[in-house]
Amino acid sequence: MTDGRPNRKPFIVKKSFFILALLLLLPPSVTHAVEQLQKTISLRESVSIALKNATSVKKAENNQHLEGIDLLKSYGSFLPKINSSASYVPRSVIRSFSPLSTGSLIPVNDTTIQTRTETSSVDFGLTASLNLFNGFSDYAALRSALDMKQASGFTLQRAREAVAYDVTQSYYQVLLNMELLAIARENLLSARDILTLTDRQFNIGLKSVTDLYQQQAEVSNNELNVIHAENRLRRSKLELLRRLRIDPKTEINLEPVDASTMASLSPDLDIDSFAASSVSRRSDLKAKSLEKEAAKWDVRRAAGSRMPRLDLGFNMSTGAIDSYKMSALGQTYSYPYPSMDRQLRNGTDYSFSLNLSWTIFDGFQTRYTVETAKIARMNRQLDYEELKDGIVLDLQQVAGDYRAAFTQIESAKTNLKASESAYAGVLRKYELGASGFVELSASRAALFNARSGLTQASYNLALQKALLDFTSGTTIID
């Protein structure tokens, strides 16, 4: 029967060579697509990636660039304004009626004659003006632009700090969910081992069928806990990818955080001195302070419209006629002109002027502008005071949570130690048949909660430290 079978070996060999050739001919971008979907990053790399891709940072950078252009415009207000114009008229025809002059040699019957003038000309003009005084509006605008430019730099710094904190929080959340998943899986393995033991004890008559069913239900419940932990981990990874703004299909692996950094933290913190130094470091408060000062200069700029305006003007113009013809009563007369170059050089007119203008009444427009600027200044003052008071209150709350995190860790360690000892004792009694399933299940649940609680307390301390740095304005950005 084997002789009747077709020989498939050559076909398989040809197919393998075809696949190999196809892989070799593929572009590098395609062959490395699978490799690009795998990425191992650290916390520092995550922050760096997010700072490059974050929309809030890009918007702050764009605003800083715009403030720089506004500052350049304010400098330009002290420079003269120059306008130039040029025109070339290849042909201009004018038809009109002219009165007949007394003593004309041309015989006419009417008192007027119709004339037709045809010209070709070139004209150039240059106008310059320099403001000498406008109520110091230009100076006030320059000071306001300088403050806003500096404020935009502090706003950008705060945006970068916010992105760094947000990514750090998401990074720690992924690590925490990874730890909780590992604990859930280990708890599931322990439950399965106990199920195996219970099944053997049931077979020899040491455990009842109720204990067996309860242990099976416990295993199923732990499997469900593992599924929930996997879902939480997947969602937290997607949230981190959302903040990094990289390919959502990328499978990221996170490097663990150095535990020695957390071990070196101390709960000792002087709230008063810490709050005072933090207020002077917060970049967003510095930005608000500069915006408040800029608003004062905006009021000065608006009030400058009440003062007179003095400008220095300069005008220069020149022109040349290429040809000039006039027709009247059927006769055409051509008038010769010098060359256009000579006309342009010798026909230049210029003038200097001092122009004084003062708006006596503008329908209360200046008053409205000034009042609007004053309201904007008062609103920025309120924003500054609100942010300053909020920083002090936030620091007191965050500092209290930071110190409480140390107490939480110590309590979690004590709880874990007691839960491990209790579970070990109950497990030995259960294996000997001296303890029931209810006691074992409660002890195991307490151990699982204690281990999860210690893990959460450890990452809570890391998050509180990151929040404390962000609130105090001491976030380190490489």
pLDDT value of position 6: 46
Half-sphere exposure of 106 (CA within 13 A, CB side): 13
Q: Are residues 294 and 255 in the same domain?
A: yes
Residue 49 burial by Cβ neighbours in a 10 Å radius (0-12, 13-18, 19+):
middle
> What is the SS3 assignment for 407?
helix
The proportion of the chain whose per-residue pLDDT surpasses 70, expressed as a percent, equals: 89
Shared domain check, 329 and 221: no
CA distance 301 to 144: 9
* Interatomic CA distance for residues 49 and 41, integer angstroms: 10
CA angle 281, 283, 288 (to 5 degrees): 115
pLDDT at 60: 95
- Lowest mean pLDDT, pick from 14-28, 263-277, 376-390: 14-28
pLDDT, position 25: 53
What's the pLDDT score for residue 211?
82
Residue 36 lies in a domain: no
Between 439 and 298, where is the model more confident? 298
pLDDT exceeds cutoff 70 at 123: yes
How much is the pLDDT for 55?
A: 94
The confidence score (pLDDT) of residue 271 equals: 77
The predicted pLDDT at position 9 comes to 45
Task: Give the pLDDT score at 110.
Answer: 53
pLDDT at residue 36 tops 80: no
Distance, in Å, from the CA atom of 402 to the CA atom of 398, rounded to the nearest integer, reads 6
Residue 157 lies in a domain: yes
For residues 182-194, b (16+ Cβ closer than 10 Å) or e, as one string?
Answer: ebbbebbebbeeb
Instruction: Report whether pLDDT(117) > 70.
Output: yes
Q: In this structure, is residue 38 part of a structural domain?
A: no
Query: Do 383 and 468 fall within a single domain?
Result: yes
In this structure, the answer to whether residues 191 and 71 fall within a common structural domain is yes
- Looking at residue 302, which CATH number applies to its domain? 1.20.1600.10
pLDDT score, position 248: 82
Q: Does a structural domain hold residue 155?
A: yes
Domains of the chain: total: 2
pLDDT tens by residue, 216-256 = 998 999 999 999 999 999 999 999 999 999 888 888 888 88
User: Does residue 21 lie within any of the structural domains?
Assistant: no
pLDDT attached to residue 174: 94
Confidence of residue 109 (pLDDT cuts 50, 70, 90): low
> Regarding predicted confidence, which is higher, 286 or 205?
286
Q: Is the same domain home to 335 and 426?
A: no
The DSSP secondary structure of 134-203, one letter per residue, reads STTHHHHHHHHHHHHHHHHHHHHHHHHHHHHHHHHHHHHHHHHHHHHHHHHHHHHHHHHHHHHHHHHHHH
* Domain assignment present for 151: yes
> What value does the mean pLDDT take over residues 282-300?
95
* Rounded Cα–Cα distance for residues 227 and 238 (Å): 17
Picking from 279-283, 339-343, 356-360, 464-468, which range would have the lowest pLDDT averaged per residue? 339-343
Residues 318 and 211 in one domain: no
| Residue 123 resides in a domain | yes
Of 276, 350, 313, nearest to 124 (Cα)? 350
> How confident is the model over 306-312, as a mean pLDDT?
94
* Residue-range definition of the domain harbouring residue 255: 44-79+134-308+363-472
User: Same domain for 99 and 234?
Assistant: no
* Predicted pLDDT at 100: 60
Give the contacts of 50 (CB within 8 A, at least 6 positions apart). 163, 164, 166, 167, 243, 244, 245
Residue 297 vs residues 138, 215, 288: alpha-carbon distances, Å: 10, 76, 15
Position 86 confidence tier, pLDDT thresholds 50, 70, 90: very high
Q: Is residue 392 part of a domain?
A: yes
Segment 459-464 mean pLDDT: 91
Q: Are residues 104 and 200 in the same domain?
A: no
The region of weakest confidence among 96-100, 173-177, 201-205, 321-325 is 96-100
Q: Considering 357, 373, 388, which residue would you say is the last residue of a domain?
A: 357
Both 185 and 334 in a single domain?
no
Residue 342 has pLDDT above 60, yes or no: yes
Does residue 142 share a domain with residue 111? no
Beta strand spans in 8-65 (E): 38-41
Residue 64 has pLDDT above 90, yes or no: yes
What's the confidence (pLDDT) of residue 73? 93
pLDDT for residue 257: 81
Q: What is the DSSP letter of 207?
A: S
- Residue 335 sits in the same domain as residue 401: no
Strand partners, 324: 119
Residue with structure tokens 């499978």?
Answer: 251
Instruction: Say whether pLDDT at 4 is over 50.
Output: no
Whether residue 318 sits in one domain with residue 203: no
As a whole number of angstroms, the distance between CA 27 and CA 33 comes to: 10
| 291, 323, 357 - which closes a domain | 357
Confidence of residue 8 (pLDDT cuts 50, 70, 90): very low
**Residue 465 pLDDT exceeds 80:** yes
Mean pLDDT of 387-416: 91
Q: Which residues, other chains included, contact 106 with Cβ-Cβ below 8 Å and sequence gap of 6+?
A: 100, 113, 328, 329
The reported pLDDT for the residue numbered 175 is 92
- Which tops the pLDDT comparison, 167 or 335? 167
**Of the candidates 338, 357, 376, which is a domain's last residue?**
357
Please state, rounded to an integer, the average pLDDT across all residues of the chain.
85
Whether 12 shows a pLDDT value over 50: the answer reads: no
pLDDT of residue 101: 58
Token pair for 64: 């800083």
Q: Of 102, 100, 97, nearest to 115 (Cα)? A: 97
Q: Which residues contact 13 (CB under 8 A, 6 or more apart)?
A: none
